[in-house]
A and B are shown apart, each in its own frame.
Chain A
Amino acid sequence: MNFSAQKESVSSSAQNEARSDGGSRFKKIDRVMKRHGFQQDALIEVLTSAQESYGLLDEELLAHVAQNLRLPLSWVYGVATFYHFFSLAPKGSHQCVVCVGTACYVEGADQIQKDLEERFQVSSGSTTADGRLTLSRARCLGSCGLAPVVVLDGELMGQQTSRSAIAAIEDAIKDEPEESHQEAEVTGSAEEEP
């Protein structure tokens, strides 16, 4: 017995289609909302897919989701700004995450973070001026046996030093043309996280 689908099952497919009127830009996200039967409690799942598909959650997208899930925009905005995974600003074309969990901290992750910030002239949580690199930090990735850990574009690198991390990043961003970080389909204005 599917407990939460029942209340929503009244929304016929015709209604569903009428609700998703965001045009082709939000096709992907419309499919996700439809799969969840436009349930309000699927908001986090919907925003997660949107973040993955579009790279950021802009105001237009949040409004579209709010309208389709019949939630106030303030509610959707509140959820989007609460969780670390969601970003209202565009990210760089390469992403580097320094783990600052306890094991990594004991093994010197603080210094790695400082050295990366200095080398690439960017503070943690932001993107370089040329849009090539977003530097951030994570509170433990659960790979404590490999501390200190740095993740570059999704690839986890264990037992790092400042030197090895810098070398890996330099290698990744060297052939990247500038200003290629914004996805073509993303147009709306991006807000800074408060």
Chain B
Amino acid sequence: MNREELESLALGERERASRFSCRFLCCAGTPCLSAGGAAVRKALEKAVEGKNGNSSVEVMGTGCVGPCSRGPLVTVVTPGEEEHTYEKVTPQAVPEIVEAHLEKGVEAASVPSTVSRDSSFFTKQQKIVLETSERIDPERLESYVAQGGYSALARALEDMTPEEVCEELVTSGLRGRGGAGYPTGIKWKQVRGAQGERKFVVANGDEGDPGAYMDRTLMESDPHRILEGMAIAAYAVGAEQGFVYVRGEYPLAAERLGKAIRAAERQGLLGDDILGSSFSFRIRIRMGAGAFVCGEETALMASIMGRRGQPVPRPPYPAQRGLWNAPTLINNVETFGSVPPVISRGGDWYSRWGTDKSKGTKIFALAGKVCQTGLIEVPMGITLREIVFDIGGGIPGGGAFKAAQTGGPSGGCIPASHLDTPMDYESLQELGSIIGSGGLIVMDESSCMVDVARFFMEFCMDESCGKCTPCRSGTVQMVRLLEKIKGGRASAHDLEKLEELCELLKATSLCGLGQTAPNPVLSTIRHFRHEYEAHIEDRHCPAGVCSMPH
């Protein structure tokens, strides 16, 4: 396939879609499917079958819409009319929806509508990576192409040199979306400049932070976007082979990526001589087998090579010596997802969003004690208050906001006094947390901060790979100390010991897991010291979570 053929494929698919007099779009993300989305889709297909002129009606699955706790979601698209999205659709409600739209031209009165598109849940968002997610059938390449898919790859291959592609990424200001925030363009240049007979590109889809599902949604909703981003990266750094490392718990993501790879190879968008150029690139999927530490890049590479996922010291960085000792580019899935818009619309365009140092948009998984949970994409620099209260609709039952946890076990808790903090890499770091991969859990007064710290420390203890002593033994000792505090058996000396251990782990652990494991403890001590003191001095748990001796 060449560029013209790609354009005519897009045109053909757009024409095909415009011929339908009515289209039912069923969200096919995991949250909607686990709420019964598959049965709803089947019922829809059956219901339209019997209608006359059914050839002009389409039922299709799409990527994620956003308000994940309200699924299954069905959007009805009728040309010339306003779109309508129903929530919590059941197979029983399907006949009414079909009849209302196909025969009466009205909305189904007794099926609930989802959050309005004019509400702040949607209007406060800025969708760049997820822009086309709810319009794309993740299992059809044509559907992605019709939305402009693979045109960024075509542009890069035909109009740009690899150096220009790297430069565009530098201009965009895009930084690693896995959490560390390393500038993507700089990393690409380093791999491009590294000496090696062969090079590799790896997409890190081992999303292990509890409370985060951005990468899964992206892989499930828009798999071709990841592949396109990887192919552009491979062209820029000079790689011929890529891997997508998918977390073992995400079988649907792996299945859709696999389908997408096969379809792209058939169309000459992956494989040899892509789009008629001399550039060749292949992608393989590697499934994780359940190990949080494999999100760390050196551990991830060990796992790709079929070994125990244990990290090794850096340097050498993967950009110098990675997979099979070859220079390797590792970026997070969301980072690759941000690449096609940067190339097709330009780095300057992309850098219009965000703050001085943190450009573009970030996807967050909003969950916990908040009225409207779901997957959101916001410009960097938006305040936490806007996310929790405007997009999330505040705390249910009129409760009070206590803290937001970001960055999972490597992050921390942001208290109410910092609700107006802009969400960017530097601001959150100053508060003792991190942006992380994008999990954002809201907590109200019913959460005990000592228990939260114990929760994350226990996680790190379970997931420590055991290679270095500070992490292997330190996490165990810290869990014991936290349980002692929770049980009302601790002294002020124990709190000192806990803080001392935190510093020790940060300074001496081998990899990011151990170095950042103390963050949830440190940030809760910093912002909620009074709760620790209440447990220690008054033998009292203010939230009423911990059981104390009488």
Contacts and interface: CB of A to CB of B under 8 A. Distances in A.
Nearest to A145: B68
B241 A106 contact: no
A16 B68 CA distance: 48
A86 interface: yes
Interface in A157-178: 157-158
Contacts of B289: 44, 47-48, 83-86
Interface in A27-43: 39-43
Contact of B291 (A82, A141, A155): A82
Interface stretch (A97-105, A113-121, A126-134, A179-187): A97-105
A135 interface: no
A1 B240 contact: yes
Given A85-B290, A156-B34, A141 B249 contact: yes
Interface in B30-76: 30-31, 34-35, 67-69
B305 interface: yes
Contacts of A142: 30, 207, 212-213, 216-217, 249-250, 365
Nearest to A151: B34
A138 B198 contact: no
A48 B68 CA distance: 30
A62 interface: no
A112 interface: no
Contact of B290 (A40, A83, A146): A83
Nearest to B462: A139
Interface string B201-235: 00000011111110011000000000000000000
Interface bin, chain B: 35 or more
Interface string B349-373: 0000000000000000101110001
Interface in B356-403: 365, 367-369, 373-375
Nearest to B465: A82
A45 interface: yes
B309 A85 contact: no
Contacts of B405: 102
A48 B462 CA distance: 21
Interface in B169-216: 198, 207-213, 216
B441 interface: yes
A40 B30 contact: no
Nearest to B289: A83
A67 interface: no
Interface bin, chain A: 35 or more
Contacts of B462: 139
A143 interface: yes
B306 A42 contact: yes
A140 B241 CA distance: 31
Contact of A41 (B30, B209, B290, B305): B305
B373 A144 contact: yes
Interface string A71-94: 000000011001111100000000
Contacts of A145: 31, 67-69, 365, 367, 373-375
Interface in B286-322: 286-292, 303-310
B35 A140 contact: no
Contacts of A41: 304-306
A144 B439 CA distance: 9
A147 interface: yes
B151 to A, nearest CB: 26
B287 A48 contact: yes
A147 B68 CA distance: 11
Contacts of A12: none
A90 to B, nearest CB: 18
A92 to B, nearest CB: 18
Nearest to B33: A156
B162 interface: no
Given A142-B249, A143-B34, A102 B287 contact: no
Contacts of B35: 146, 158
Contacts of A143: 30-31, 34, 68, 213
Contacts of A146: 31, 34-35, 68-69
B443 interface: yes
B290 A79 contact: no
Contacts of B442: 106
Nearest to B200: A3
B365 A144 contact: yes
Query: Taking each of A2, A85, A140, which has the highest tally of chain B beta carbons within 10 Å of its own beta carbon?
Result: A140
18 contacts: A1-B280, A39-B306, A41-B306, A44-B287, A47-B289, A102-B455, A103-B368, A105-B210, A106-B369, A106-B447, A140-B249, A144-B213, A144-B365, A144-B367, A144-B441, A145-B374, A146-B69, A147-B367
Given A78-B308, A144-B368, A158-B34, 19 more contacts: A1-B282, A3-B198, A39-B306, A44-B289, A48-B248, A79-B306, A83-B289, A102-B210, A102-B441, A103-B210, A103-B367, A106-B367, A139-B208, A140-B210, A140-B211, A142-B213, A143-B31, A144-B365, A158-B35
